[in-house]
Structures are given as C-alpha cells and as structure tokens.
C-alpha cells in the first residue's frame, strides 16, 4: 500500500507503510512464534487482511477552525492534520468525512485547541456496519453544544442517508484519553447492527468491537471450528464484550455464559441472543476474575471450556492461577499482545498450548491478533 501522507511525513501512524504485505505478515508470524517459543504448538497459516480499506471505524481528531475544520490527527505542535483521504478506510466510511466537516461548520462547533485549552469538539468517531449503516459520535467538552448538534442533525441525515445512530460523548477534561464517562444518544436508534457470520451484533456507542470486520469474522469462525472439535457441554466467555465469541459458541445442548464489566455491552449481547433465538446463552455484568473466583463459593459448576479475549495487558496472574487450578479442560485464548500472552501461559503450565493461528487485524502496523487453543494435561 502506498500513502501520500506517509510519504510526505504528515502521518507516521502506520509504521510498516510501504513494506511488502507478504513480508509484513511473515514478520508478524515470526515475531509471535519467537515470543511464544517456550510453548510448542502447531501453527496454521495466518489469516490475511485486505491491505487497505479494512477499517470499520474512524477515530478522527478535530482540528483547524469552525470555518475550515480538519479531521485526522494533530501534529507535534497540536495543530490539525487532515487525513480525509486515508487509504485505511473503505469508500462508504471515507465518504462521510466531507459532510461531517461541513456539519461542524454549520453547527458552529469550535474544534478543541489542545495547546490553548479552549474550544468544544475534540473527536468525531464514525463506525460503518457491513450493511453500510453508520454510527457517528461527537466527543465534546460540555452539554451546552448539544442544541447546536440537534439543530443540524436533520441536515446531516439528508447528507448521510444511512446514518442510524448519533451520540455525543461529554469529555470536559484536558486529558489524552479518547472519551469521557457520559454518553448522550441523540437518535431513536441506539445501536448499530454489525452482521458477522449471520449474527447481528448490536454495537452501542461505547462498546468495543474489532476494527477489521472481515478478520473478526474469520476469528470467530476459527474459534467455532475448534469448539466443534472439542465439543464442550458448557462454556464461559470471560471478556465477552457485545457477545461475539459467546454467540458463536452456542450449540444444541451447550450452555454458554458471557461475562463483561460493561452493562451497555451486556444489554447488546442479550438482545443479539434473543434475536437469534439462543435460549441457552446468558450474559452477566461483572468482572471476569470475580465471576471465576466466585464459582468456588457458589453452586456454579466450572465449565468445560473458557474463552478469554482480554485487553493488551492479558488476563493477569490471578485469573491465570484460577484457570490453572480450576479443572477447566480447555481454554481458547485470543490475544492482541504476544508478550502478555506468554506471561499468562507460563502461569498455566497444566494447560498446554495445542495449536495457534495469527490473524492480521491491523495491516501496515506490527499489531495482530492470535488465537490459541489450550488443553489440560
């Protein structure tokens, strides 16, 4: 992939830009296998991605002025760099940027000036579903600007006919974080359906979802294939998010429980399960570790198989220790960081890695996802 922004030095977010994609993929596989060298296992061929146009979400920093806003990133001085022609976004997502810039001007939303610490609009976050529907989030400092956003929403919906969900996130603090705690939905529809392998995953504004829909679908298919071979009667998905793994794990006579700290994500997962008619799948709001540890003090049976898909820090020593001593027969571990995965595997010596597959969620960078199956000795 060639990128004029990278060539001009305006954006260096894609650290592998310009490198042959086959070489990128081989290097990622080699890195992952090297980090996990102490854990012999069978490796399948990696899952490839499209080199460009693969992202379903654009997190655009708003810079410039009301009259001439930029959507992209900030340079080292804190000034806006417009990346509206970034090749990572598919055509339907890229087509939203010009109308959104015009909307900012019409609504009089002053871009937040980071060096000066004044202004209102910090980010515009756009997500596109596989069916082409859109969700737009405006990250602003105060609720006072909502009346301006609401006043111009009819115009924006005319420009973007597939716009389904609009929200405002209130982020008043001067911090290098994406969003604040308060989310205000401005449309009747509150979630964006993401159709993945036939399941409608309902994505609400603050819910996490993989940014590469095609590779996420491949990840779920691989997990489903391994689950069919293992044939567990009971499954826990301990970082279930909006329910992707848990819904794919469902099957006749199999009980599935998804656990997630976000009540918003659990509400979405329950809706997806109900729409799919999956009566043996339940979702619980709670911490993954606390849920697992609580099984020792309740009538809850330890499952045959546990799925974990933690953030980059991994599952940590306590949950890894519980899995080691729990009697759980199998684990499917989906990781986005091989280093934390290696630490967790070392804490579970009785659960032997059996097979693995790397999935390239993030071409042009050194990031990836890896799925590993572990079986107890």
CA-to-CA distance for 184 and 97, rounded, in angstroms? 22
CA-to-CA distance for 111 and 140, rounded, in angstroms? 9
**Choice among 11, 14, 240, 336 that is catalytic:** 336
CB-CB contact of 56 with 211 (8 Å): yes
Q: What is the DSSP string of 278-301?
A: -TTEEEEES-HHHHHHHGGGSSPP
Question: Cβ of 222: how many Cβ atoms within 10 Å?
Answer: 20
For residue 227, CA distances in Å to 218, 231, 256 come to: 14, 6, 12
What sign does the CA torsion over 205, 208, 213, 217 have?
Answer: negative
CB-count exposure of residue 79 (10 Å: 0-12, 13-18, 19+): middle
Check if 86 is active-site: no
CB-CB contact of 136 with 105 (8 Å): no
**Active-site residue set:** 336
């Amino acid at each position: 992939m060639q990128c004029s922004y990278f060539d001009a030095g305006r954006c260096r977010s894609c650290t592998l830009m310009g490198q042959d994609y086959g070489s990128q993929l081989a290097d990622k596989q080699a890195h992952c296998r090297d980090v996990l060298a102490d854990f012999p296992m069978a490796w399948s061929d990696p899952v490839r991605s499209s080199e460009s146009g693969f992202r379903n979400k654009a997190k655009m920093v708003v810079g410039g002025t009301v009259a001439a806003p930029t959507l992209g990133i900030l340079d080292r001085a804190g000034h806006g760099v417009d990346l509206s022609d970034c090749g990572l976004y598919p055509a339907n997502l890229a087509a939203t940027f010009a109308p959104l810039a015009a909307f900012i001007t019409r609504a009089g939303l002053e871009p937040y000036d980071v060096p000066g610490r004044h202004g209102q609009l910090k980010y515009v976050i756009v997500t596109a579903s596989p069916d082409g529907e859109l969700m737009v989030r405006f990250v602003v400092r105060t609720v006072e600007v909502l009346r301006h956003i609401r006043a111009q929403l009819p115009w924006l919906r005319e420009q973007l006919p597939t716009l389904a969900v609009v929200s405002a996130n209130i982020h008043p603090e001067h911090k290098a974080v994406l969003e604040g705690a308060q989310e205000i939905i401005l449309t009747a529809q509150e979630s964006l359906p993401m159709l993945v392998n036939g399941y409608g995953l309902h994505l609400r504004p603050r819910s996490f979802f993989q940014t590469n829909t095609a590779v996420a679908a491949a990840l779920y298919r691989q997990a489903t294939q391994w689950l069919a071979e293992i044939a567990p009667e009971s499954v826990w998905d301990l970082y279930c998010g909006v329910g992707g793994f848990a819904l794919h794990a469902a099957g006749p006579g199999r009980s599935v429980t998804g656990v997630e700290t976000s009540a918003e994500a659990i509400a979405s997962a329950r809706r997806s399960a109900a729409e799919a008619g999956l009566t043996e799948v339940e979702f619980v709001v709670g911490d993954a570790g606390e849920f697992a540890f609580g099984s020792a003090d309740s009538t809850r049976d330890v499952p045959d198989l546990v799925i974990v898909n933690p953030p980059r820090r991994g599952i940590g020593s306590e949950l890894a220790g519980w899995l080691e001593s729990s009697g759980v027969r199998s684990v499917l571990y989906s990781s986005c960081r091989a280093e934390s995965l290696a630490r967790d595997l070392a804490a579970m010596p009785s659960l032997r890695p059996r097979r693995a597959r790397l999935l390239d969620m993030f071409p042009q960078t050194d990031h990836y996802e890896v799925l590993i199956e572990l079986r107890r000795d």
